[in-house]
Structure 1
Amino acid sequence: MFSRIRDDIKGVFHRDPAARNTFEVLTNYPGLHAVWLHRISHKLWKHDWKWLARSLSTFGRWLTGIEIHPGATLGRRVFIDHGMGVVIGETAEIGDDVTLYHGVTLGGTTWKAGKRHPTLESNVVIGAGAKVLGPITIGENAKVGSNSVVVKDAPANSTVVGIPGRIVISANTPQDSNDKRNKIARKYGFDAYAVSPDNPDPVANAMGVMLEHMHLMDSKVEEMCKVIQSMGGEVCTDNLHAISAQDFAETGLSPVMPEAQDGSHESFDPKI
C-alpha cells in the first residue's frame, strides 16, 4: 500500500512542475486523494460490499469533486490533475501512468449492462474537458485534446482532437508524406498555418490536404501545357500572377513573409 502511495507521489513530481515537496503533494492534491479512496472502495466492491463501496465513492466525490465508480479499474501512477468535474464510469479501465485533467468524462453510451466505458492503455493523456464515450480503446501513448468528444478507437501514439474526435497524428502516417507536405507549405508560404504534423489541429490538417491537391493540379497543368506546346499549340505563354503577402492584406490573414535584402517582403510563386 505504502509503495503504491510513494509511486503516486513520484508520478506527481514527474508530471507537475508546480509540486514543491512531498508534504504539499500529500495534503493538497485532490486527484491523489480520489485515487487513494477509490482503491479502498474498489476492494470493497470486489468483495461484494457494494453499498459501502458506493458510499465511500460518494464521500470521495464530495471531498474532491472527482467521481470514480468503485467498479472502475485504475492502474499504477494514475494522475488526475486539478480534478474538479472528472467522472469515471463503472466499467472503465485505466492503465499505468495515465494523466487526466479536469472536466474529463469516461462515460458510457448505452444503458445496457456489461462493458460500456472506455479502456485507456498506459501513458494516455486526456486533456481538460474531453469526453471519451463508449466501450472504445485509446491506445498506449495516445493523446486526446481538450474538449474533444471521442467515440471511436484511437491507435497507439496517436493524437485525437475535435468533435467528433479525429485522428490528426498517427504512427502510421508515412514520413515521406509529411516531408512533402512541409515542402509544399514552405513553397506556398503557408507555414503560419502549421500544416506540419507537430500541431494537432484539424483545420491545419485540412490546409495540408488542400496544399497537396494544389501541388498535384499544378503538376498536371504543367504537363498538359508541355504536351500541347509540343503539338504546336500556343498555351500557357503568360506567366501566372505571383501571389504576395499584399494579396491577403484586406483579409486579416496575411502570412508573415521573410524580408528580402532590399527590406521588402518576398512574394511566393504558386508554381513549384
Structure 2
Amino acid sequence: MNTEMSPVELRRAVRSGEFTGNTSGVAQGFVQCNLAILPADWANEFLQFCQLNQKPCPLVGMSAQPGDTGILALGEDLDIRTDVPKYRIFKDGEFAQEVDDIRDYWRDDLVTFALGCSFSFEEALIADGLDVRNVTEGVNVPMYRTNVACKPAGRFSGDTVVSMRPMKPVDAIRAIQICSRFPSVHGAPIHFGDPAQIGISDINTPDYGDAVTIKDGEVPVFWACGVTPQVALEQAKPPFCITHSPGHMLVTDLPNSRLAVL
C-alpha cells in the first residue's frame, strides 16, 4: 500500500475491498480514528465517559444526528459504514463477529464517536528519527489490557488498554516530549519500564495486535489506547454496538498538524 495515498484514495480503496489491512503508516500526515457506534439511548453516557477519560478516549468527532453515516468535519467523501478496513459487532457486550462492511447492520438510531488514535503521532516520532517498531516491522501495534482504571460514567467503566512501542530510555524521554503536543491522539505515554506495574504479565503476548521485537537496552513504552472503549462496552453490555477492529482505523481528512499543541 502506498504510504503517500491520500485519505480519500485510501477510504475508496477500503470501500472497494482493495485495502483490508491495518492502517499504521498509511496515508501519512492525517488523523486516524478509533470508532464506537452505539444506539442513541446510550450515547450521552458514552460521551460523558469520553469526557472523563480523555487520555484513552480523546473525542475527535461524532455524529451530528443519530443515523448519520458521515461526519462532515472529518471528511466529505466519508461513509462510516464502508470506510474502515474491519469492524467488530458486539451484542449484549459480547463480541459477535468481525466484518469489513456494516451496511447490513446499520440502523437509524446509531450514533458514531470518532476517537483519536496513536497512529497519528507515529509520524511525528519517525520524523524526529525515532524507530517506531510496529511500522519498521510492518505489523499491527501490540496492545494490552492493564489494571489502570478509567473513571466511570453511568453504565460505562473499565480498565485502560495501552499500545506499546519499545525504545531506548533516552528515546522514551524524547517521545514524551513529542507526544505531549498531541493530546487529541492520546498525548504522552502513561508508563514506561516494568509492564507488571500496570498489570501486564507477558509483554510478548499482546491482547490485541502483534508482538514486536524488544532489543537489548530498550524498555517498553505504553500509550493509552483507543481500544479502551471496547473494554468499557464489553462491561456495560449495550444490546448492540459496533467498533473498529484493533489497528484498522478510520483515516480522516484532518491533518495531524491541526491537532498539535505548539
TM-score (norm 1): 0.20
Tell me: higher relative CO, structure 1 or 2? Use CA pairs within 8 A at least 6 residues apart.
2
Structure with greater proportional strand content: 2
TM-score (norm 2): 0.21
Structure with greater proportional helix content: 1
Structure of greater Rg:
1
